[in-house]
Amino acid sequence: MPAVSEYVQGKIRCPRSRRPLLLRGDRLITEDGGRSYPVLEGGIPDLFVASTGSEQARVEEANIQFHNRHSEDYDRLTVRPDGDYAEVTRVLEELKAVHGKAEELLDAGCGSGVILRRGAPLFRHVLGIDVSTAMLRRSLSIHRDLARASVFALPLDDASVDGIAGYSLLHHLHDPAEAFVEFHRVLRPGGFLYTDNDSNKAFHDRFGWWLRIRRAAKEKRSRTAGDEALEKTAECHHDTGLDPDALAERLRKAGFSKVEIRHAHPPRPDEFTRLLMELERTATSPSLRYYFRLVAWK
């Protein structure tokens, strides 16, 4: 079994006590021996601690099961062509420049590596975490600094990273505000949080009819009724979208000093989106844009 990477071994902490972890064979153990965690295939520490909230835990477990089942076809059905992520690279470059000294980035919910691929050339260290062991194994081919962990119990010290990125993350969380508290805890003063690729509630409210037509025409990842129910639970805000203004308020309550909302169209506009872009020339409204991203500073 490959060893835990040197950076990860020095960075991670017990997600319960936040004490340092020592590698003993194929397990990580706290110095007092009170806690022990396995190391998975590929040298990935398994530091996952399930959420204590019943609904949060139910959604989290659905994400684990669904993405473990569908990791092999995830890219084909979900991930866009590489060029469609140019804006992600641009935003990361912008945040690094504004910060000035950012060296360590946490990729929360790293999935198949959208942030890992684009963050690694920009930051000295990028730590990717996810709840799905299958998705983490897939990311090993592009990145070694990985751990299995929940965004509600991060295996990190207080004030230990410069930035956090969560791409296509928030709509997989029953209550994102709980994660905001953890993100604020592990960020160093002046650090940033960047979330992206979550859908806008105002757009859903106005154009839900179009989304239903569009989704009906797409190839589905679920193959059975049970699998479809599992996916619906995992993407618990998929049918309604999220309210970025409400999330911004929760970020402020978590302690973030500055929050910015940026609405966006899909990177590859279809005919309907092009009509909305034309409409924006005379009737600007956040409800015309499907996606939003958040940038918050500690």
Domains of the chain: 42-297 (3.40.50.150)
- Give me the DSSP letters along 78-122: HPPPGGGGHHHHHHHHHHHHHHSS--EEEEET-TTSHHHHHHTTT
Residue 18 backbone zone (phi > 0: left; psi -120 to 50: alpha; other: beta): left
| Per-10-residue mean pLDDT, the chain, length 298 | 88 96 94 93 96 94 94 77 92 98 98 96 98 96 97 98 98 97 98 98 97 84 85 94 98 98 94 96 94 98
Q: For position 222, what pLDDT does the model report?
A: 75
Residue type at 262 in one-letter notation: R
The candidate with the shortest Cα–Cα distance to 92, out of 64, 116, 70, 109, is 116
pTM for this model (two decimals): 0.96
User: Could you tell me the CA-to-CA distances from 274 to 40, 265, 283 in Å, in that order?
Assistant: 46, 9, 14
